[in-house]
Amino acid sequence: MKMAPAIPSLGSDNHSGVHPKILEALLQANMGHSPSYGTDPWTDKLRGLCKSLFGPSTEAFIVFNGTAANVLCLHGLVESHQAVIVSDVAHVQMDECGAPEKYIGCKLLPLPSNHGKITADQIRDALIRRGDQHYSQVAAVSLTQPTEYGTLYSLKELQDIVQVAKAEGLKVHIDGARFIYAPPGLQCEFLDLTEELGVDAVSFGGTKNGLLFGELCLIFDREVAQSFKYRRKQAMQLPSKHRFVASQFLALLSGSLWRDIATEGHKKALYLREKLSALGPAVTITQPTEANAVFARFPKAWIGPLRDHMFFYVWDEKTFEVRLMVSFDTTYQQIDSFIEKARVLNAAQLP
Ligand SMILES: Cc1ncc(COP(=O)(O)O)c(C=O)c1O
């Protein structure tokens, strides 16, 4: 059966297909038989690679999806009577259908965010009623890097948060569904954002960054790492044919592919932002563009025709702020044709 040709989309970086180099790695891994459940040579190599990229204490575990990565990372860090500080727009808070609350039984404590970020001072102020048996005890902070609004916590902002967390005995988790954008954006290495920074767990995204599917839980706390494999199995997140996820991550992380995808994605997002802004006062850019997403507001009447041309999400159904997201395979021509459509709508002076 022949499927209709895919229409390019600015909906999400998981609307795109698989990066050709990752598909090639999958084909290479598709040879003969190999032991299952993470005992294959690909997974072994990936574990070593993760130690060199993220720090020698890193234990890397493959899971199927990002929600599970977040839940399993947090499951190692908190108990059911405890709470996790998050931003009010965090994926764990807004888009995981209460999965952390259901599987861990813990409470999420959302703090108001600015461009998707929370601060060290807010975290310090939220640490009330310590030791009070009537109150869920804050035991961890979960940050998204880059944030849901395509912004980056700076190294200083992260260091301040980790410092408060450590002083107060809190664990630190990072939801890194798009973590590949952080090192080029902050001009640092992965290591500066993981073991060197002092975080306890990172959900490291693959699916949004060119993989067919697969995410990593990077665990830096030895005790948490020891029990992780049991909790992953109980959560039904242990893939049997591990080599097909490990080989994809090896293709992404062994050389420069991850950096190339992130650098290009950011460049294209900046291009889209610039072209949109140039349309004039009908367009307002609402967030800094530090990864692969552009957030904007434009006349409501544009949304239907523009979405028919190239799909995107209305992020805030009250303000009609929209999210335009670039994927590894988004082209400048596609962006130009989207802008041309917006230019025509702008010229028509729709309300
Ligand atoms: C920031 C962030 N974290 C986690 C996820 C969860 O990924 P999944 O849909 O694979 O569960 C997403 C997916 O959109 C995301 O954007």
> If you write DSSP's letter for every residue of 61-75 in order, what string do you get?
EEES-HHHHHHHHHH
pLDDT tens digits for range 225-258:
999 999 999 999 999 999 999 999 999 999 999 9
pLDDT tens digits for range 255-308:
999 999 999 999 999 999 999 999 999 999 999 999 999 999 999 999 999 999
Q: What is the Å distance from ligand 1's center to 177 Cα?
A: 6
Cβ–ligand 1 contact at 65 (below 6 Å): yes
Cβ–ligand 1 contact at 142 (below 6 Å): no
Give the mean model confidence (pLDDT) for residues 18-35.
97
Nearest CA owner, ligand 1 atom 6: 66
Which pLDDT band, with edges at 50, 70 and 90, does 193 fall under?
very high
Mean pLDDT of the chain: 96
Which pLDDT band, with edges at 50, 70 and 90, does 8 fall under?
confident
Nearest CA owner, ligand 1 atom 8: 66
154-193 as b/e: b if 16+ CB within 10 A: ebebbbbbbebbeeeebbbbbbbbbbbbbbbbbeeebbbb
Cβ–ligand 1 contact at 237 (below 6 Å): no
Burial (CB count within 10 angstroms: exposed 0-12, middle 13-18, buried 19+), residue 40: buried
Q: What is the Å distance from ligand 1's center to 67 Cα?
A: 6
Tell me, what's the pLDDT at 269?
A: 98
Order across the sheet with 284-285: list the strands.
Answer: 284-285, 293-297, 321-325, 313-316
> If you write DSSP's letter for every residue of 176-209 in order, what string do you get?
ETTGGGHHHHHTS-GGGGTTTTT-SEEEEE-GGG
pLDDT tens digits for range 98-148:
999 999 999 999 999 999 999 999 999 999 999 999 999 999 999 999 999
CA–CA distance, 148 with 88 (Å, rounded to integer): 10
Give the mean model confidence (pLDDT) for residues 82-102.
98
Give the mean model confidence (pLDDT) for residues 76-82.
97
- Ligand 1 atom nearest 147 alpha carbon: 1
How far from 185 is each of 135, 152, 161, 212, 215, CA to CA, in Å? 39, 8, 19, 25, 21
Give the mean model confidence (pLDDT) for residues 185-193.
98
